[in-house]
Structure 1
Amino acid sequence: MITILAGGTGSVKLVRGMYRESENITIISNVADNFWHYGLYVCPDIDTIIYGLSNNLDKKKGWGVKRDSFNFLKYMATLGTEKWFNLGDKDLTTHVLRTQLLKEGRNLTEITKFFTEKYGLSVFVLPASDTHYESNIVTEGNKRIHLQEYWIKYQGSVPVCDIIYKDIEKARVTLPAQEALEESKLIIFAPGNPITSIGPIISIPGMKNLLKKLKNKIVMISPLISNKAVSGPCEVYMKAKNIPPNLRGLIDFYSEITSTMIFDQLDKSEIERKIKNDYPEIKFCYTDILMTNLRKESLLARYIISNF
């Protein structure tokens, strides 16, 4: 079994490629993006993975259901309600059902299994935790804004002072997620944002110690090429956590819990000349990691499967 730690938009391409190339994968999904909206429980990263694997994702946007309509939001707007978070009509059914199942007493792991089965997926998508906690952006004056609100409502326009995982001390790794990690022959950190996609998973109490024990079978795929984020605000968030927003900062961030790191060919020269010798316990590998189409997603997946 291969287990992938994943966020949403920055991770789904690799997850999709691995799903096509391997018969036995498990995804441990970030849940710190989850939030309540219009009285509904929304899980952006879990949904992006499920939509992506079932060929329902709007690939142009990178989120939501393809060919969705937004009549619900239009009617909400006529009543003077804020509509900063784009809930499509088809997408809305997921959140309504999830909320109903939560109220019936099911946990998030059980509910996510329900959806993977409904979408006909032969894969386990496991929430990293069944406990709610969330990534908050800290702005000037110690104001805290949920990550989704910061990035979508405010368009990332407010200076970031810090990023915290609110209530993470209450979270626990689910037993299915822990067992998946322990039983896997290979664990992959998808090229999601290290602070807001992968970071909230590895920061759950007890998770880092578990990953240290499993270090020899952990492979990280870089979210950076030529010291720039492939997508999203990776550099901004790294800087907010006082992590140098470059290849060295990324390597140092993951160095305690990763034995192998895969970077783009474009970064081979810099890493081999300037960085590699400072991390003798890490194996550095290089290939084309820019997944611009389905073929390149599969090529990267095949590279990982055949080499590790």
Structure 2
Amino acid sequence: MITILAGGTGSIKLVRGMYKESENITIISNVADNFWHYGLYICPDIDTIIYGLSNNLDRKKGWGVKRDSFNFLKYMNTLGPETWFNLGDKDLTTHVLRTQLLKEGKSLTEITKFFTDKYGLSLLVAPASDTHYESNMVIEGNKRIHLQEYWIKYKGSMPVYDIIYNNIKKARVTLQAQRTLEESRLILFAPGNPITSIGPIINIPGMKNLLKKLKNKIVMVSPLISNRAVSGPCEIYMKAKNISPNLRGLIDFYSEIANTMIFDKLDEAEIEKKLRNDYPEINFCYSNILMTNLRKETSLARYIISNF
């Protein structure tokens, strides 16, 4: 079994490629993007994975359901409440059902399985935790706002001084996620944002110690090429956490828990000449990691499956 730690739009491409190439994969999804809105419980990363694997994702946007309409949101706007978060009409059904199931006492793990079954997916998508905790951006005045609010409502317009995982001390790794990791022959860190996609998973109490024990079967796929983020605000977040927003900073971030790291071929010369000697315990590998279409997604998946 291959297990992928995933979160955000930076992960779905690799997840999709791996799902196409292997019949035995499991996803452990970030849940720190989850939040309550209009009384509904929204799980952006889990939904992106499920929509993406079931061919329902709006690939142009990178989120939501393809060919969705927004009549609910338009009408809500006429009644006065803020409508900064884009809830499509089809997408809305997921949030309504999830909230109903939560109120009936179901865990997020159980609810996520309900949706994977409904969408006909033959794999396990496991929330990293059933406990609610959030990635919060710390802005001026030490004010904290949810990551989704920061980027969608405020469009990332304010300086970020820190990023914290609010309530994470109360979170626990689900038994399902723990067993999955222990039983996997390979654990992949998808090329999601290390701070807000993968970071909230590995910082759940107890998770880092577990991953250290499993280090020899962990492979990280870089979200950076030529010291720049492939997509998204990876560099901004790394700076906010006082991590150098470059290849060295990324290697430092994962060095305790990842035995192998895959970088783009464009970065081979820099790593081999400037960085390899500083990390003798890490196995550096190189491939074409920029996934701009389905062919490249499956090509990278084949490389991983055949080499690890």
Q: Which residue of 2 aligns with 1:46?
A: 46
Q: Which residue of 2 aligns with 1:149?
A: 149
Give secondary structure in 1 for the equivalent of 2:106: coil
Q: Which residue of 2 aligns with 1:65?
A: 65
Tell me which stretches of 4 or more aligned residues in structure 1 moved more than 2 Å: none
Give secondary structure in 2 for the equivalent of 1:220: strand
Amino acid across the alignment from 1:38: Y
Give secondary structure in 1 for the equivalent of 2:77: helix
Q: Which residue of 2 aligns with 1:228?
A: 228
Q: Which residue of 2 aligns with 1:96?
A: 96
Q: Deviations over 1:71-113 (max 9, x none)?
A: 0000000001111000000000000000000000000000000
Q: Please state how far the C-alpha of 1:174 moved relative to its aligned partner.
A: 0.1
Q: Deviations over 1:4-57 (max 9, x none)?
A: 000020000000000000010000000000000000000000000000000000
Q: Which residue of 2 aligns with 1:85?
A: 85
Q: Which residue of 2 aligns with 1:262?
A: 262
Q: Deviations over 1:205-235 (max 9, x none)?
A: 0000000000000000000000000000000
Q: Are 2:8 and 2:193, in contact at CA under 8 Å, matched by a contact in 1? A: no
Give secondary structure in 1 for the equivalent of 2:196: coil
Structure 2, unpaired ranges of 5+ = none
Q: Report the Cα distance in structure 2 between the residues aligned to 1:152 and 1:26, rounded to whole angstroms.
A: 30
Q: Which residue of 2 aligns with 1:210?
A: 210
- Taking only the aligned residue pairs, the percentage that are identical comes to 86
Structure 1, unpaired ranges of 5+ = none
Q: Which residue of 2 aligns with 1:252?
A: 252
Alignment of 1:103-114 (within 5 A): 103-114=103-114
Q: Please state how far the C-alpha of 1:292 moved relative to its aligned partner.
A: 0.2
Q: Which residue of 1 aligns with 2:8?
A: 8
Give secondary structure in 2 for the equivalent of 1:195: helix
Amino acid across the alignment from 2:256: E
Q: Which residue of 2 aligns with 1:199?
A: 199
- TM normalised by structure 2 equals 1.00
Amino acid across the alignment from 1:31: V
Q: Deviations over 1:110-149 (max 9, x none)?
A: 0000000000000000000000000000001000010000
Q: Which residue of 2 aligns with 1:305?
A: 305
Give secondary structure in 1 for the equivalent of 2:195: coil
Q: Please state how far the C-alpha of 1:177 moved relative to its aligned partner.
A: 0.2
Amino acid across the alignment from 2:140: E
Q: Report the Cα distance in structure 2 between the residues aligned to 1:140 and 1:105, rounded to whole angstroms.
A: 38
Q: Which residue of 2 aligns with 1:140?
A: 140
- TM normalised by structure 1 equals 1.00
Q: Report the Cα distance in structure 2 between the residues aligned to 1:220 and 1:277, rounded to whole angstroms.
A: 19
Q: Does 1:163 align with 2:168?
A: no
Give secondary structure in 1 for the equivalent of 2:187: strand
Q: CA RMSD in A?
A: 0.3
Give secondary structure in 1 for the equivalent of 2:262: strand
Give secondary structure in 1 for the equivalent of 2:284: strand
